[in-house]
Amino acid sequence: MGRFWKTFKGFLPGLTSGLMVGTSYIPFPPWALFFCYVPLWVYVVEGTPSLRRVFGQGWLAQFVLSLIGFFWIYHVSREFGYLPLPLAALALILFAALVHLHIPVSLVIVHVLRGRWRWSKGVTYLYLALSLWALETFWPMIFPWNLAYSLIWARIPAFQLADGIGFEGLSLLILLSQAGLAYSISLSLGNKEGEGRRQWRQWLQLPTWVGLLVVALFWVVLSVTGSWRGELFAKRSYSTLKVGLVQGNVSNSEKVEAEKQGYHVPDMIQKYFDMSLKLRDLRPDVQLFIWPEAAIPEFLDEHNRYRKHTRLFYDRLPVLQRPIILGAFSSDPMERFPRRDFNALFAFSKEGLMVSPPYQKTKLLIFGEYTPLAHVFPILSKYNPAGSGFSAGVGPQIFLLDGWKIGLQICYESLFPSFSNQVARWRADMIVNVTNDSWFGPYGEPYQHLYMTLARAIETRLTLIRVTNSGFSSVIDGAGRIYTRSPLFEDWSEVVTVRLYHQDQPTFFVRYREIMILMVMLLILIGLWFLRYLNMRNQERVHD
């Protein structure tokens, strides 16, 4: 038993931080949001671990948090990949083992530099936070996330500051707060190097309590400021729009059969029109209908009107007597070869006329919507459930519909601030996001994707309307008010009266995001150069 406990204690720093991060991210309450990396960082700074142990503890932390936060990979592996239970579990394990390696890499970088340049503890904690932020900002994650999204999930008012610094900036403040707290704990533990094993009560000395108080006051001030900022924005002039959201809850099996064999498409067309007409009869004042991603799994371009199901859709469209935005498929004209297919958004006037070329999705989900390297090794498409998948569009687009300028997103694109910022620079009146999260199951991912999408409304101060196939459909306005949230895996429709706030210019974050990131990176590099310079000067003095 003693040997087991000794071995177990050796894994505690990474295991503890991994558990804290994983259970503080959406959909869990953010109970450890401001100290989840502290055990890992204190281990790196206070102990004398080898480079291998530093990487190992960081790897363990990212593995555990990935298992907890992204356990829905198991569900999608079975639902979309049709993998048997053991292979789906293996897919989750492999995903968790590799997906967030930026965490151990950030520890290794700081550990190496500290050893070479003899950093103080305070500098080391500072750069542990800065290196993690820099890597999480630029690391090629499949699902780019950071801890700041938990602020909007928990409705901590500090999220309202995202129109100035974005959720990336808020994430930096969270990590810096953790660095300050870790440093205060380091002061409590004393100045003796190499003593990694200390009693927990030694962590809770006066410097630790001071650090906790300072961090708490800092976030109270940010939250009060954020609340004031949100209320101030809500006082701006606005117009209203009555939007009909229609969530059809079409099953995955029906979607697959519709896309591959053309089955069920007439039934889907019938269902969405029936739900919309019923909603229009209940609320004749509805001004715009929105259907979710791939609501009609058919090619709806003008040059595809000869297709049977496309004709059926166009024949029914004028009956709606309202403008509509919906997800469907798009393709190149017949004369182009090779002909490409796209996941797309279409907009039609109340007369049933297409008002703009379809928006073709730009940022595609790897394996879900395209097979990497399939153009080089075509055989790879045979083993991917998505086949060769879709082609990518040329970039963001705006629909001009009944006088509204509507910025567009399809599903995964909502995770990228730069994408939403572009339509905000084009002075969109609102953002419409259509999604299908039905492949990911009822736990975890639908909540994460929802609130990461809603975050774009705060950064741009544009009302964001999200309509999904199976939930969560929702609306958030530019002031951060969430109007509705649909149930999961149920047929649902609702007319929501939303506010479209008038803005003189795009938000500070929209205008200067790239510059702010560049400035922080420049300050990080200048700091490294200065620390290297000081180390060289100290070495010269020793030699003298």
Q: Which residues contact 246 (CB under 8 A, 6 or more apart)?
A: 272, 275, 276, 279, 289, 290, 291, 292, 295, 467, 493
| β-bridge mates for residue 407, sequence order | 398, 431
Q: How far is CA 302 from CA 179, 260, 471, in A?
A: 57, 21, 30
Give dist(CA 476, CA 454) in Å, integer.
7
Give dist(CA 400, CA 422) in Å, integer.
16
3-state secondary structure 377-399: CCCHHHHCCCCCECCCCCCCCEE
Q: Is residue 76 within a helix (H) or strand (E), and if so which, with residue range?
A: helix 72-79
Helices (H), 160-294: 162-189, 206-234, 252-261, 265-282
Nearest Cα neighbor of 481 from 449, 509, 458 is 458
Give dist(CA 269, CA 276) in Å, integer.
11
3-state secondary structure of 387: coil
Cis? peptide before 338, omega within 30° of 0: yes
Phi, psi dihedrals of residue 494, rounded to the nearest 5°: -160, 145
Nearest Cα neighbor of 295 from 280, 317, 278 is 317
Helices (H), 351-444: 380-383, 417-425
3-state secondary structure of 375: coil
Q: Which residue has the tokens 């700041």?
A: 148
3-state secondary structure of 202: helix
Active-site residue list: 293, 361, 411
Give Cα 249 distance to the centre of its chain: 23
User: What phi-psi label fits residue 44: left (phi over 0), alpha (psi between -120 and 50 degrees) or beta?
Assistant: alpha
Q: Is residue 346 within a helix (H) or strand (E), and if so which, with residue range?
A: strand 341-348
Angle at the Cα of 474 from the Cα atoms of 140 and 243, rounded to 5 degrees: 125
Cis? peptide before 289, omega within 30° of 0: no
